[in-house]
Amino acid sequence: MKLRLSVAVAALCGGVVSHLALAQAISPERAFGAVESVQSPDLSPDGTMMSYLAPRAAGGNALYVVPVDGSAPPKSLLAASGDPDVFQSCSWVAKTRLICTIGALGRASGYVVGASRIIALDSDGTNIKVVTKRDDVRATYANTFGGRVVDLLPNEDGSVLMLNWNVPKDGAGTLVRNDKQGYSLDHVDTRTLRAKPLTPASVESGEYITDGLGTVRIMGVSRFTGDYTRTGVIRYKYKTKVGGNWLDLSEYDTTTDSGFNPFAIDPAQDIVYGFQKHQGRFALFTRSLGDRPQETLLFSRPDVDVDELIYLGRKRRVIGVSYATEQRSAVYFDDALVKLRTSLSKALPGAPLIGYEGASDDEQKLLLRASSDKDPGTLYLLDRATKQMRPLMLVRPELQGYTLAEVRSVQVRAGDGTMIPAYLTSPPGSAGKNLPAIVMPHGGPESRDEWGFDWLAQYFAHQGFVVLQPNFRGSAGYGEAWFMNNGYQSWRTAIGDVSDAGRWLVAQGIADPKRLAILGWSYGGYAALQSGATAPDLFKAIVAIAPVTDLAAHRDRDSAGDSRARLRRLRIGTGPHVTEGSPYRNADRFAAPVMLFHGDLDQNVMVNQSKMMEEALKARGKSVQLVLYPGLAHSLARADARADMLGKSNAFLRASLGMQ
Query: What are the tens digits of pLDDT across the range 364-393?
Result: 999 999 999 999 999 999 999 999 999 999
Cis peptide before 427 (omega within 30 of 0): no
- Residue-level pLDDT at 7: 39
- Half-sphere exposure of 184 toward its Cβ, with a 13 Å CA cutoff? 17
Per-residue confidence (pLDDT) for residue 16, from 0 to 100: 38
CB 628 within 8 A of CB 596: no
Per-residue pLDDT at 84 exceeds 50 = yes
Q: What is the pLDDT of residue 9?
A: 30
Angle in degrees, 0-180, between the axes of helices 491-507 and 523-534, rounded to the nearest 10: 70
Cβ atoms 106, 46 nearer than 8 A:
no
* CA-CA-CA-CA torsion sign (542, 546, 551, 553): positive
- Report d(CA 429, CA 239) in Å as an integer: 60
- pLDDT one-digit tens code per residue, 343-357: 998 999 888 999 999
3-state secondary structure of 155: coil
Nearest to 546 by CA among 522, 518, 520: 522
The pLDDT tens digits for 568-620 are 888 899 999 999 999 999 999 999 999 999 999 999 999 999 999 999 999 99
Report the C-alpha gap between 266 and 269 in whole angstroms: 6
Residues 148-190: pLDDT tens digits?
A: 999 999 999 999 999 999 999 876 555 455 568 999 999 999 9
Q: pTM (2 decimals)? A: 0.94
SS3 551: helix
Query: What mean pLDDT comes out for the span 506-520?
Result: 98
Share of the chain above pLDDT 70, in %: 94
Does 288 score more than 60 pLDDT?
yes
pLDDT in tens, 519-532: 999 999 999 999 99
The mean pLDDT value for 15-33 works out to 65
Q: Where are the alpha helices (DSSP H) in 455-599?
A: 455-462, 480-483, 486-489, 491-507, 523-534, 551-555, 565-572, 576-580
pLDDT band at 137 (very low <50, low <70, confident <90, very high): confident
pLDDT tens digits, one per residue of 458-500 = 999 999 999 999 999 999 999 999 999 999 999 999 999 999 9
Give the whole-number percent of the chain exceeding pLDDT 90.
Answer: 84
* pLDDT value of residue 171: 65
Segment among 117-126, 223-232, 291-300 with least mean pLDDT: 223-232
DSSP 290-307: SSS--EEEEE--SSS-EE
- Go through the domains of the chain in sequence order and give each one's CATH number: 407-656 (3.40.50.1820)
Return the closest-CA partner of residue 37 out of 64, 5, 11: 64
* Mean pLDDT computed over every residue of the chain: 92
Compute the average pLDDT of residues 293-305: 96
Distance CA 477, CA 593 (A): 33
Distance CA 600, CA 105 (A): 10
Question: 399-434: buried (b, 16+ CB within 10 Å) or exposed (e) per residue?
Answer: bbebebbebeebebebeeebebbbbbbbbeeeeeee
